[in-house]
Amino acid sequence: SINLIIINPFINHPFTISLYFLYVSGPLSAQISVIVNVGSSAVLHCDCKPIASSQLSKQSPYIKWRTTNELVFERLGEEHFQGEGYEDRVDVPEDKLRKGNCSLVLKEVKAEDAGVYESYLQVKRSKRSIQTTWKLIQSVELSVHDAPAPVPQQQNDIENKSDKQDTSMTSSSAGLISVPSQILMFTILTNTLLRYT
């Protein structure tokens, strides 16, 4: 959520109020949801251009992704860290990060990966300050579904064979009767034999 804090309002008129100072806290955009199947890849969207544009040309952005309980991934330039259980499965590509794209790529998704992920960017407290702080950029809820169970090939062959041998007659939209080729051939042979008897 985004909180708006009004500090020292100055009242000019009973029906008019001027804001002396505004402070906005919270993520740059609302929480988004991503739904994937077990074993697939997920991209948790994140865009840090709005607040990192002034720093991108000067230094590499320092990004961090975490859940409520653990650190998932962090990158500063070429240096990066992958959290326990996420080794070789997560990344924020450096070239994209320099352009303001801080999206997290999560490969080979597991059921236990489901949850809320948050991205943070390290920023200076002010333009002239050397002190830094972590700014929440994006919150993403990841939902993981079980992958549909594959149908065995033998069962597929049995079902296909059963469909081909179906001898039921159906009525078409034009009022005609469509019959399987086996019955049609039997009927033609029977009529031919009856003519010569």
- Is residue 115 within 8 Å of residue 68, measured between CB atoms? yes
Report the predicted TM-score, pTM, of the whole model to 2 decimal places: 0.61
Query: pLDDT tens per residue, the chain (197 residues)?
Result: 444 343 444 434 443 333 323 333 445 557 899 999 999 999 999 998 866 565 555 678 899 999 999 999 999 989 999 999 999 999 999 999 988 999 999 999 999 999 999 999 998 776 776 788 999 999 999 999 998 777 677 666 666 665 555 544 444 444 444 445 555 555 555 565 566 55
Q: What does the domain layout of the chain look like in residue ranges?
A: 29-145
Joined together, the tokens standing for residue 14 give 């009973």
Question: ∠36-42-47 over CA atoms, to 5°?
Answer: 130
- Is residue 56 within 8 Å of residue 100, measured between CB atoms? yes
User: What whole-number distance in Å separates Cα of residue 115 and Cα of residue 107?
Assistant: 15
User: 29-145 — its CATH code?
Assistant: 2.60.40.10
Eight-class DSSP state of 101:
B
